[in-house]
Amino acid sequence: MSAVLALLMRDLRLAMRQPGDWLTPLGFFLLVVTLFPLAVTAEPRKLALMAPGVIWVAALLSMLLSLDGLFRQDLEDGSLEQLLVAPASLPLLVLAKVAAHWLQTGFCLVLLAPVAAVMLMMDMSALPTLMLSLLLGTPVLSLIGAIAAGLTVALRRAGALVPLITLPLMVPVVVFATGAVQAAAIGMPVAGYLALLAAFLVLAVTLIPFAVAASLRIAIGG
């Protein structure tokens, strides 16, 4: 566990030294939320109806922007090979890297959710559900994206492949998360939606690190 924590802190320190890597997805998220009313409609009632879907799609696209570089920098500086031969469990090391990625992007998106909700005239009674859905759903997106990032890490110009591989797998998360927020906005129960998102998260944390570890070994011939 000391190696896992050390890797997590290392990635977070590197992120602080390169703020553009995590500020760009957040800026993109705010840009999409800002431009949507200008491009579609500024009528408050219509905006409120579309707000959950807009926020979640913007969050999904923002996270995709940073997934291609999840393992690429480690490959370029040679540390990825060291991770593969390290005595620590590779799935746990993968989980540490994904956690660092989520803290830079997904967690920040959770914090920005109130701003996006106000900009899109969303019913504030649904804001806690929106933030909880992001808290449960965005780690799943990071884990799913890590599979494609691992498979394509050794390929040049693989940025377009990551969305093609991961988007079909991410759709259920977006559907149930958006459904939870829409149900909360009209006063319907949301426990079922949130329970499914929690189940997705548990399965992803349990299984996906092993898949990512295998994909990294395949990608670099180990």
157 pLDDT more than 70: no
Measured between alpha carbons, how far is 78 from 69 in angstroms, rounded to an integer? Answer: 14
Identify the pLDDT of residue 158: 62
Token digits for 26?
């957040």
Cα separation values, 36 from 47, 91, 136, 175, Å: 9, 39, 25, 19
Identify the pLDDT of residue 8: 86
The model carries a pTM of 0.89
Each residue's pLDDT tens digit, 57-69: 999 999 888 887 7
Each residue's pLDDT tens digit, 164-179: 888 889 999 999 999 9
Identify the pLDDT of residue 136: 95
Identify the pLDDT of residue 159: 63
Identify the pLDDT of residue 154: 73
Measured between alpha carbons, how far is 111 from 217 in angstroms, rounded to an integer? Answer: 35
Identify the pLDDT of residue 172: 93
User: Token match 């295998």: residue?
Assistant: 214
Write the single-letter amino acid at 139. P
Token digits for 218?
């395949």
DSSP letters of 36-105? HHHHS---HHHHHHHHHHHHHHHHHHHHHHHHTTTTHHHHHHTHHHHHHHSSS-HHHHHHHHHHHHHHHT
Nearest partner of 212 among 175, 162, 164, judged by Cα: 162
Identify the pLDDT of residue 221: 64
Each residue's pLDDT tens digit, 22-59: 788 899 999 999 988 888 877 888 888 899 999 999 99
Each residue's pLDDT tens digit, 99-149: 999 998 999 999 999 999 999 989 899 999 999 999 999 999 999 999 988
